[in-house]
Structure 1
Amino acid sequence: MNKTEHFEQIFQRASDRKGGDLALQSLVSKPLETRDLLQIPDDRWLAEFTKKVFQSGFVWRVVRQKWPDFEEVFFEFNIEKILMMPDEMLEKKATDPKIIRNLNKVRTIRDNAHMIKDVSDEHGSFAAFVAKRDSRDVIGLWDFLKQKGARLGGNTGAYALRFLGVDTFILSNDVEAYFRSHDLVSGSLRSKRSLQTIQDTFQFWQSTSGLSFQELSQILALSVGDNAVGIEST
């Protein structure tokens, strides 16, 4: 950890950039408590995974505007109903003008429903599975979503977790810029070595600050670069 700063320095720089401690804190959000995380039903996990799959490489605002129609077309993401859909129905729904018509992304809905159902059958619910995991192993959960889910690699799964209230850091452009400018990572950001270094650094900051990964990630992003204020950029 000798190449990085203590988080007090990062916090102070972010505070100076955003107009003081109170102004900075107003821009930072916290993850859900475990008891609240456990209340998230399986259909909401599927809904958020789907939303982030469709937002990936697309205009987020458009997906949000169409989202009530997504909920209607896909049975409010009821897992059992989704799993009962044959290929022909899935393909027909992919042509519905009320949603964003992308067959490959529509297919991920049923694929991710299978993943959630398998996990829920073993652990009681998908939320219970997430809550039982070592909360410090963020990249392990990311890798699970990448390996077992459909199109949930990269930042897609991470953003879904963030919006659901799971404590996670996000590898935004500003966060990446920090790690590169401090020579903490080089080459691919997604290599095992880079991801482990990033996680180790966040764990170090967490141990010395008492803040969640979500707060650390947001404050870090607000401390560097030409960032936009708000959760979507951090």
Structure 2
Amino acid sequence: MSHRAPWECLFAKEQRSRCLPGKKPRTDHEYFEILSLCILQAGLSWASVRRSWPRYRSAFLNFEIAKLAHVAPGALLRRPGALRNRKKVAALVANAQEFERIRADHGTFARYLRTVKSEKDACTMLQERFRHVGPYTAEFYLHCVGQSVYAR
């Protein structure tokens, strides 16, 4: 069975090594949207996120890094369809700003990821550089973007 989107995975967290990794994103926008998905999904059901994703895309400026990096979290919270979690919305803005810094230093987020020596280091880097990213979210994100953190 081929299942690429994380919400299509049929295996429990305890069986995560059986879950296929996602496809590597082609653009920074895709890397950022997947990170945003992982952050917004935390604590919610995949069914709820799946139903709400078109609204979230619209409310959060289609996850365009340059736009999100320069908007106040309060303005996003007032947009129709936005998730009403202040910490998650503030994290989206801060993470868009961090993506801009990474792109300024490395050209692309993919190029930056390739500088990290190990999956453990990648998880640590994600937790240190991005807001609202803990150990599980970092591992899950890397898995979603085609890294093999669960293939242990």
Q: Which runs of no fewer than 5 residues in structure 1 stay unpaired?
A: 1-26, 170-212, 217-234
User: Residue 97 of structure 1: CA displacement?
Assistant: 4.9
- Aligned counterparts of 1:145 and 1:28: Cα–Cα separation in 2: 21
- Deviations, residues 27-54 of structure 1 (Å, cap 9, x unaligned): 652565xxxx4x6212222211111112
The residue aligned with 1:195 is none
The residue aligned with 1:43 is 29
Out of 143, 147, 158, the residue aligned to residue 124 of structure 2 is 143
Does structure 1 residue 29 correspond to structure 2 residue 10? no
Out of 112, 125, 131, the residue aligned to residue 129 of structure 1 is 112
| Matched AA of 1:128 | R
- Aligned counterparts of 1:160 and 1:123: Cα–Cα separation in 2: 20
- Aligned counterparts of 1:100 and 1:70: Cα–Cα separation in 2: 7
- Deviations, residues 146-189 of structure 1 (Å, cap 9, x unaligned): 111001112112112211212212xxxxxxxxxxxxxxxxxxxx
1:28 to 1:110, Cα distance in 2 relative to 1, 3 A: closer
Contact 2:59/2:80 (CA < 8 Å) preserved in 1? no
- Deviations, residues 90-148 of structure 1 (Å, cap 9, x unaligned): 213224452321111111111111111111111110011113332xx111111111111
Does structure 1 residue 105 correspond to structure 2 residue 88? yes
Structure with larger Rg: 1
Residue identity (%)? 21
Q: Which runs of 4+ in 1 moved over 3 A?
A: none
- Superposition RMSD on alpha carbons, in Å? 1.9
| Matched AA of 2:95 | N
How do 1:40-79 residues align onto structure 2 when only pairs under 5 Å count? 40-79=26-65
| Matched AA of 1:140 | D
Out of 81, 101, 105, the residue aligned to residue 118 of structure 1 is 101
Does structure 1 residue 168 correspond to structure 2 residue 140? no
- Aligned counterparts of 2:48 and 2:83: Cα–Cα separation in 1: 9
- Aligned counterparts of 2:51 and 2:130: Cα–Cα separation in 1: 25
SS of 1:115's partner is helix
Q: TM-score, normalised by structure 2?
A: 0.78
- Aligned counterparts of 1:28 and 1:157: Cα–Cα separation in 2: 16
Count how many residue pairs are aligned between Structure 1 and Structure 2. 135
- Aligned counterparts of 1:31 and 1:62: Cα–Cα separation in 2: 20
- Aligned counterparts of 1:73 and 1:28: Cα–Cα separation in 2: 30
Q: TM-score, normalised by structure 1?
A: 0.53
- Aligned counterparts of 2:107 and 2:149: Cα–Cα separation in 1: 22
- Aligned counterparts of 1:150 and 1:127: Cα–Cα separation in 2: 19
SS of 1:130's partner is helix
- Aligned counterparts of 1:167 and 1:156: Cα–Cα separation in 2: 14
Contact 2:21/2:143 (CA < 8 Å) preserved in 1? no
